A and B are shown apart, each in its own frame.
Chain A
């Protein structure tokens, strides 16, 4: 049987392996259009792009027909291939909206890319002016070689448009295939949609801006449009029911932790805090002698320097960061960098006076260090406030950042004084306890408010039956024959139920009837204004977001939360309390250890607080997909 197998005959295998390595397509099949310059696909997309450039006051915009979109997602892959993006980089993404009733379910796919906003948040936030809004086309361009990879635009954009490219250390984004448009070629997504659901139109900037009210959003579930005034228009002839929500509405996923930023914020605040305490308690430290002052100031300066150094680890291209002052007119990040730069140099100068007296009044120098530092911290606050995220509101960020400043300033002063054997006012230790208690108590209150908000909204949420029925009745006109609720339907299908247990009450009007749409074009209705009806009102959105943050903090991130409170209370209350007792009974041998421990725990607590500040934030975004 085996004679036929001849193991000493390797030639067939060799031949086949060689054959496998030969690429035959080119030699065997010639292409007919070898040098054809005009794109073959042009005949299909000719009507999907404008014939002429926008006039003054106008710009290009995406327009998406939700009814034509079948959810194939070819646009995402076409954009990826035709723009030569990195393997895991996408400039377009696809989410979905769900709602309706048992009798008339509704779901829509929502394709989204850069909205080329009238007032782009990315552009406004960029510290190095790496963004430009084209004066003619209105396209928001990103200058890749200018980018320092700070990713602040990623935080600023409420639509998750800029994509950070780790290997290159920069962000990149959709430019509406501007070089294609320039030569009357359609953008990749427009070319590739089998259903002609995406097109480029010319819109009036002023008109878009006037139409954008505080209640506008491009589609249900999208962020409020009044922040950036996005230009993309989503059209549908079918009404979206009142309970329409993104598929990822209840998604709970911790946000990026940004450790360098955590360290930078906490250490710069510690540094500023130490200078503040020194300025406040001048009499105290003056009595401590010059050596103590030198050491104290050096420590404060070092913490600040470490913080600033840590921040560069956050940058994709730190060597280009010297340009960061360029954006000072609009960017809080730019201002933060400028003020901390000034602060650091002033502080260094002030310390220098301890060794080499300068012809500058000491108090003036001290005051300017403290003021520039506090402005720096304020800029830090505003960097986050300017992203318009609930958890990063002025109230919450301000209280946290300034709270940390004073708390760590006091903790460091106490520790340093006690370690060096200086006497310290019990008042300062008491202050530490009070500040810690206040900050922890306030944080705990915020957390419980967030949790409670969930319960109360759930209780308050009225069943969507009434609204849903309105939606069904209206939708029947355009959807043919909706199954009759009840009656012949199997039991259950006639009933309506909430899709999400934590729904919010909405205005009962499902949508504006066709024909009364504000654009007056006679085409299919545009969503921006009418869907404002679906939007959570400002309070509800805030509550929802706070609730999601609280859920993260008590759910996936509960151990970090526990650790935060344990560190905070040990370092800020228990240990200082013990210190008070020990100094009272003069059991001084434990004091240095305990005071260092107190400070270390306070610092750890604040780092954890800041870690949670980043990870539990709910970033605004376009409707996402299922379980992305």
Chain B
């Protein structure tokens, strides 16, 4: 009785139930989800491939009445095993941002952008671009596109622009991330074909990461590294002590851009020790002898690719360990240990990302990695490979089907046979397929400078922020007669410059396929309504075709899936042949499918023979009646490459000095790169999520080594000024040992970063070298800040107080 009274008094005084408590109640979500918030209980779920990076994680979108309300990573997707990084978890949030473009916007005479209807927008689009073409030639209108849109849209855009609108010069922001890998593979293997599957992370016994901060850039790939049961050596080669370097068993903090010399030095050492897989080299490669000669003699005259700048021929013994040690900053003992680790591994895999791709001699560096894999026979077997970890979610789709630098399906514009084939498949007049190559991104920008490009159509990229030496780009944008920007947001730095803004639907608001880093074709679905009158890029291209008057040419390009069928036809007979994929439904049910998968693939493709027991059982768990492609498929298990002779090539070249080395006036080397896993590129999307914003520094910051900070009297938190020959910015200092003396690091996500970067390009891939330029660092005194800002003409005040590093040719 008393107890009951006490209980009822307690329940009167302490409210355990009510609306506020209810708000957080969890209930079974069904669909294998476990518990979910009661408020957000789905009535259905569907898997959508993530639209940020190239990992290509499966996201299980929780739906109510067909509309996405929440998401969790998909457990049974072969890529991510139920994991995602913060961007994936927050993928739906940026769709609801209030700065979405909801109607076309036209810049009026008063200089302001104002809404117009689609009909007017499309008429103006056609009229202005046609007028420019009439006056300056068809090639005076160009486009810059994105690795963030689906393959079907890329192909439509590329075909429409080149076969319908008469454009010649088209490129994409994939130039900023993957051009190097594409060119390197194409030259070495005969086709742009990253050979690996993510299972290789788990099967290696030695993993070598070069210029890759996988922990932060591709967290769910790192998961696979940690699942490796072979107690692997994890080797990281990176100037910075990155998160990945921290997690590694061996870290080699080389001087920036000394990677090519390092890799050649390792190759030479391996050859000298005869740690070479000679049978493999003999049987499956060419040019090894020339490479050996190049390394052993001097590396000067024997190169089978001549350097565009012959001024810097290395002296005899350039790749001796002593010299390599001098250039890289590593000790001879460290170099030996590194070489031994590679030699001792039974399954060695090499992985590279932007640290390699964004360099002034990037293609040769990537190929130096490929050379190491080839000469040690580490390719085609589980846990091996020279593996480029791609950047954007659909950079791989772009490489095959953007119709920019390569003709559709990885073909060549310069080859008449290729042009005819494409014309035949698409029922085009063969003359409508350009017989010349497109300019690369930097050449298009240069084209604006010399008035050969007068109209530009930018789709889903933020050049005004991301382009190297952005101030120059922003200056040149003013010279364009007509700039159209097609984007999800009307607030991007680039959209603010546009004459016409076309509102685009984003990831999750449209259908199509992405191809991830391991060549897996995955499906993107429409799970959310686009705001206002925003249209998918696909539908915008349909409109453009109609208004341009070439709708008839693209009458079969009715839907993304119809285009997917066209792409299958285009891929047939190519190394990337995926004509064996029936339709989207098959892709969806298989959890994505890696190319190649030719027709009649069942049991035929060599890739399907290399199947891990786990992958098999995973397959078995899914389907019992019909055959299904293996969930983990790698290339070259038969040692046959895509060159006509079936052999891979050793490619090499004399290393060159940094285009802009530190000097007295600009004594520091600026490294740029990814800041955190919660940030993506120019942050047009990741800045729209409150949760993601809590996970990265909102303000631009500069990592500087403790010894330099001591000399400059800079402490963490203080404002510093960074200047290069191109710009001057301020940021907050973070004093650390993670960057080496003489170097500073600034994440690429902040709008100011690329005011500093130096526009140099790899000669083969034309990829910008974001990773190194000369800068000066100065402390800003709080009280002097105003005065300081007025003083725009003063010379950089910090003189070299220490011998600069990073210039290996001194």
Q: Please report A residues at the B interface, Cβ cutoff 8 Å.
A: 1-5, 7, 10, 12-13, 16-17, 19-29, 31-44, 67-68, 70-74, 76-78, 80-84, 87-88, 90, 93-94, 98-102, 104-109, 128-130, 143-147, 168, 170, 172, 177, 179-180, 183, 185, 191-196, 247, 249-252, 323, 326, 479-481, 483-484, 487-493, 495, 497-501, 625-628
Contacts and interface: CB of A to CB of B under 8 A. Distances in A.
A70 B118 contact: no
Contacts of A78: 72, 89
B249 A480 contact: yes
Interface in B3-46: 13-21, 23-26, 28, 30-37, 39-40, 44-46
A628 B805 contact: no
B701 A627 contact: yes
B526 A98 contact: no
Given A25-B63, A143-B16, A183-B35, A76 B250 contact: no
A191 to B, nearest CB: 8
Contacts of B325: 488
Given A20-B536, A74-B85, A180-B35, A29 B585 contact: yes
B388 to A, nearest CB: 21
Contacts of B697: 625-628
Given A71-B216, A105-B737, A492-B805, 19 more contacts: A1-B549, A25-B48, A71-B215, A72-B677, A73-B676, A74-B84, A80-B691, A81-B89, A81-B90, A87-B691, A105-B736, A106-B737, A143-B16, A143-B21, A168-B23, A480-B250, A492-B802, A626-B701, A627-B701
A16 B82 contact: no
20 contacts: A5-B547, A12-B542, A12-B546, A16-B543, A24-B511, A28-B525, A31-B45, A36-B30, A71-B677, A73-B86, A74-B86, A81-B90, A82-B36, A107-B738, A108-B246, A168-B23, A191-B34, A192-B89, A493-B741, A626-B734
A87 B736 contact: no
Nearest to B41: A84
Contacts of A145: 15-21
A41 B75 contact: yes
Contacts of A106: 246, 737
B75 A31 contact: no
Given A36-B32, A488-B330, A491-B802, A23 B527 contact: yes
B690 A87 contact: yes
A194 B220 contact: yes
Contacts of B334: 481, 483-484, 488
A72 B34 contact: no
B83 interface: yes
Given A17-B535, A29-B585, A145-B18, A628 B694 contact: yes
Q: Which 6 A-B pairs have the closest CB atoms?
A: A84-B37, A4-B549, A39-B34, A105-B737, A145-B18, A194-B223
A16 B678 CA distance: 34
Interface stretch (B475-483, B484-492, B609-617, B705-713): B705-713
A334 to B, nearest CB: 13
Interface stretch (B123-131, B177-185, B453-461): B123-131
A141 to B, nearest CB: 9
A497 B7 CA distance: 63
Contact of A73 (B226, B250, B695): B695
Given A145-B16, A195-B223, A73 B677 contact: yes
Interface of B: 13-21, 23-26, 28, 30-37, 39-40, 44-46, 48, 61, 63, 65-67, 70-73, 75-76, 81-86, 89-90, 93, 118-119, 122-123, 126-127, 130, 215-216, 219-220, 222-223, 226, 241, 243-244, 246-251, 253, 255, 325, 329-334, 337, 505, 509-511, 523, 525-530, 533-536, 539, 542-543, 546-549, 584-585, 588-589, 676-678, 690-692, 694-699, 701, 705-707, 709-710, 715-717, 732, 734-738, 740-742, 802-803, 805
Contacts of B123: 5, 7
B698 A627 contact: yes
A26 B63 contact: yes
Contacts of B694: 76, 88, 90, 93, 628
A251 B715 CA distance: 11
If over half of A's interface residues share one DSSP class (helix, strand or loop), that class is named, otherwise mixed; here it is loop
A100 B691 CA distance: 31
Given A13-B118, A16-B543, A39-B34, A491 B24 contact: no
Contacts of A101: 737
A5 B549 CA distance: 7
Given A40-B32, A70-B216, A98-B736, A480 B82 contact: no
Contacts of A625: 695-697
Nearest to A495: B707
Given A29-B525, A31-B44, A109 B243 contact: yes
A38 B35 CA distance: 10
A25 B66 contact: yes
B709 to A, nearest CB: 8
A82 B37 CA distance: 7
A93 B72 CA distance: 19
Given A73-B676, A76-B695, A25 B61 contact: yes
Contacts of B738: 98, 105, 107
